[in-house]
Amino acid sequence: MSWQSGAPLSILSGRGTINRAIRSLENTAATSLTKPELDEIVQFRMTPDGSFLITESEINPRDNTGVSADGDPAFAGQVFSHPGPGELGVLQRRLFSGPSAFGLDLAINKSIRFREVHSILVGAQIANALNHPAFFSGSHFLDSTQFGRITGTLLGARVIEFRMRYSF
């Protein structure tokens, strides 16, 4: 059994706003909200449209990004923006936690002896026995069309493996 807290995640601008693009490529986003206000927006949610880490009202309805296109006014509900030229984003890296993960693997074996030197070992191994999804979410880039959406899992679907061994 494994049970772990959510992996840390960042909300990134993805724009190099300082003179060295390589160093500032993973620049964080800008916002005017406080951490408690952001905690209401950034949390795991299951919706009919899938699993999200960002409230759907904070996602651009036109293109599913976290910001409006350059030159366009902010959309209703927009809380994140790109930092300006020469500026750094105000969000701390790895400020938020993704969803927690729970996994249960099982194995069972039975040895059956017959005669003195013959035996059969029968067994099964089940990975992700409860077939429970463990969602994974890395950093979220404001310009991504998957902003706020969880698109991956840590565990695959349930896998059952049967085995039998004859020893003599």
pLDDT at 25 over 70: no
Residue 123: inside a domain:
no
Confidence band of 20 (pLDDT split at 50, 70, 90): low
Residue 106: inside a domain:
no
> How far is the C-alpha of 128 from the C-alpha of 150, rounded, in Å?
20
> What residues have CB less than 8 Å from 71, skipping those under 6 apart?
none
Residue 122: inside a domain:
no
Confidence band of 115 (pLDDT split at 50, 70, 90): confident
Question: What pLDDT shows up at residue 87?
Answer: 85
Residue 121: inside a domain:
no
| Mean pLDDT value of segment 7-30 | 80
Residue 112: inside a domain:
no
Please count the CA atoms within 13 angstroms of the CA of 112 that sit on its side-chain side: 6
From residue 164, how far is each of 58, 112, 125, 128, 167 by CA, in Å?
Answer: 54, 11, 12, 21, 10
* Model confidence pLDDT, tens digit, residues 28-84: 899 999 999 999 999 999 999 889 999 999 999 999 999 999 889 999 999 999 998
Residue 79: inside a domain:
yes
Question: What pLDDT shows up at residue 23?
Answer: 63
CB 147 within 8 Å of CB 50: no
pLDDT at 21 over 80: no
* Model confidence pLDDT, tens digit, residues 118-154: 999 999 999 999 998 899 888 899 999 999 999 888 8
pLDDT at 27 over 70: yes
Residue 166: inside a domain:
no
> How far is the C-alpha of 67 from the C-alpha of 52, rounded, in Å?
16
Mapped onto helix, strand or coil, the DSSP state of residue 152 is strand
- Provide the residue range defining the domain that includes 61: 2-100+135-154
Residue 90: inside a domain:
yes
Confidence band of 162 (pLDDT split at 50, 70, 90): very high
Structural domain tally of the chain? 1
